[in-house]
Every structure is written in structure tokens, then in C-alpha cells.
Amino acid sequence: MPELPEVELVRLALQPLLEGARFDTVRLNRAGLRTPFPADFAGRLEGHMVRALERRGKYLLASLSSGETLVMHLGMSGSFRLNEADGDRHDHVVFEMSSGHVVVFNDPRRFGFMDLVAAGGGGMRGGLDRLGPEPLSPAFDASTLARACRGRRTSLKAALSDQRVVAGLGNIYVVEALYRARLSPRRRAATIATPGGQPRDAARRLAQAIKQVLRDAVARGERNRFRVYDREGERCLTGGCSGVIRRITQAGRSSFYCPACQR
DNA sequence: ATGTCCACCTGCTGGC
DNA sequence: TGCCAGCAGGTGGACA
């Protein structure tokens, strides 16, 4: 399911159940997800308290009283069910908390993963440390975006999908942000910056659009209607534009855009 | 280094 | 009704 807004909503739902509670029992219904669970996974959780549940990009981070951090990623199809018994064949992990709450992790495709890392999250394979800025933080703006795109010959779609450029966007919100910024997903990333890496107007529009689509999605609280995603053949919703939404494939993924107003 | 492609896995949909 | 190709919101590794 999840891009940044959905992960943030999951975090908000889990936070009151986990923070301040200990793991009483951790049940693993299989050996791993995308990667094997770390050695003695249950043993390193049980008895320890969750001090805080935070989010970084699409990752959930539970800092523990043991000093370790539980890193969780939902992949494409991961979700948590709260206070229900497990039983589905894709219920892979069960947390029974000292608060009495039960948290079940379900993930049919098993692209998600869980790991335990030293506090801070360094040392995780792949690495949280390689993530770009949080798009909703002040540290992310037209300047940081322009610098990250400077000289890149790849498309804006590919650049924004790269978690090193900005953390948390996925296929849908990349497409939505480009639509709101009136920028084509096929446009070269480098063109939003000057050769010196200074932001052009397109970079300002794009940084603002990214923040806007993410904030709106979190505020709405559910994944409902998109303005351009999955609307191939339908009319463009931008005021004054009579274009028709087109679908193209980039890097094996669908992009949707209006050829009339997105340049 | 940079950019592109593919595999990982299951479930659902639409066309025949 | 059944079957099957194609597609799905992510990531990392292999390759040019």
C-alpha cells in the first residue's frame, strides 16, 4: 500500500498502542519477509519497551529501551491489524504488548521487512542513512531539490522516485506532485536547476507541490481520489485546461499526466 | 558514477 | 464459468 502519507497514518494508529508498552510476546509465523528476520528477533524484543515510534520516509522506527531500533517497512502490501487474532495465512508477525494490545503484521507479497539495528538506524543494509530529506521538513525546499536534480539526465519521474533525492514519495505521489506542479514526468530532472544548482521556478513549484500533496493526503486520512493517478482517458482537472490524461510507462511503472498542461 | 532493467511474491481484474 | 495475461502503492542488485 504505502507511501509516506499511508505510513504516517499507520504510525499515528500504532503510536498509542506501542509507546510506553513492552513486548510481552513476539510470534513469528515464518522465517522472514523480503529478508530473513535478524538473529533472535523475538528474544531481542521481548521484555523491552518502545520509547518512541517515529517515521523516516516510508520506514517506521521503534526505538527500544534495549538501545536497539526496530525498523519496519511495509513494502507494497504490508499492513497492521490492531487487537484482532491472527489467522490469515499472511499474518507473519504478532506483537503482544504489555498494554494488552495485539498488533498483527500482514503482508501477502512479503516485500516488507523488519530488522533490528543499533540506535539511529545506521548499519541497516541499504541504509536509512542514504535517505534524502524529509519532504515535509523545512530542510526540504526548492534549493535542496534543485541541488539533488542538478546534472541528472534521468526523468523527473525517476528522480523523485529515488529515495536519495527525497524520502517517502512513491509512484502515486510522484505523479500527483508533478501534475500539481505542471511538470511532465518525462522532463529531464536537470532542467529544474540552473547549471550552478540554483532552483528555477519549476523547482519551487515542484517542492511546494510535493509538500501539498503529502500534507493533503495525511490530512484527508484515507487514500481516496487522486487528481491524475489512474485517470487515463479522463479530462484534466486543472482549471482552464481541456487536456486528456495519458498513461505512459517509465521504468516499468505507470505514469499519468496531462500532455496539455504539464511541461 | 549514472541510468535502466529485473527479480522478489501474491492477489485481483479484465478479456477471451 | 474458467483460465490467463497483465498489473499493483517498493526496493536493491545486476548490468550497460
Q: What is the pLDDT along chain A (263 residues), one digit of tens a residue?
A: 699 999 999 999 999 999 999 999 999 999 999 999 999 999 999 999 999 999 999 999 999 999 999 999 999 999 999 999 999 999 999 999 999 999 999 999 999 999 999 976 656 655 788 999 999 999 999 999 999 999 999 999 999 999 999 999 999 999 999 999 999 999 999 999 999 999 999 999 999 999 999 999 999 987 667 999 999 999 999 999 999 999 999 999 999 999 999 99
At residue A241, the pLDDT reads: 96
At residue A225, the pLDDT reads: 79
Active site includes A253? yes
Q: Stated in angstroms, how far is A108 CA from C4 C1'?
A: 21
List all nucleotides in chain C with at least one atom under 7 A from a protein Cβ. 7-13
CA–CA separation, A114 vs A29, rounded Å? 13
pTM for the whole thing? 0.96
Which residues lie near nucleic chain B, judged by CB under 7 A?
A 34, 77, 89-90, 108-111, 152-155, 158, 189, 251-252
CA–CA separation, A92 vs A103, rounded Å? 11
Q: Stated in angstroms, how far is A246 CA from B13 C1'?
A: 20
Q: Is the CB of A6 under 7 A from strand C?
A: yes
Active site includes A2? yes
At residue A221, the pLDDT reads: 86
At residue A121, the pLDDT reads: 60
If we measure between CA atoms, which residue out of A102, A116, A105 comes closest to residue A75?
A: A105
At residue A122, the pLDDT reads: 59
**Which residues of chain A (18-37) touch nucleic strand C at CB < 7 A?**
34
Residue whose Cα is closest to the C1' of B11: A108
At residue A125, the pLDDT reads: 55
- Taking a C-beta distance cutoff of 8 angstroms, is the pair A148, A132 a contact? yes
- The conformation of residue A36, written as its DSSP 8-state character, comes to B
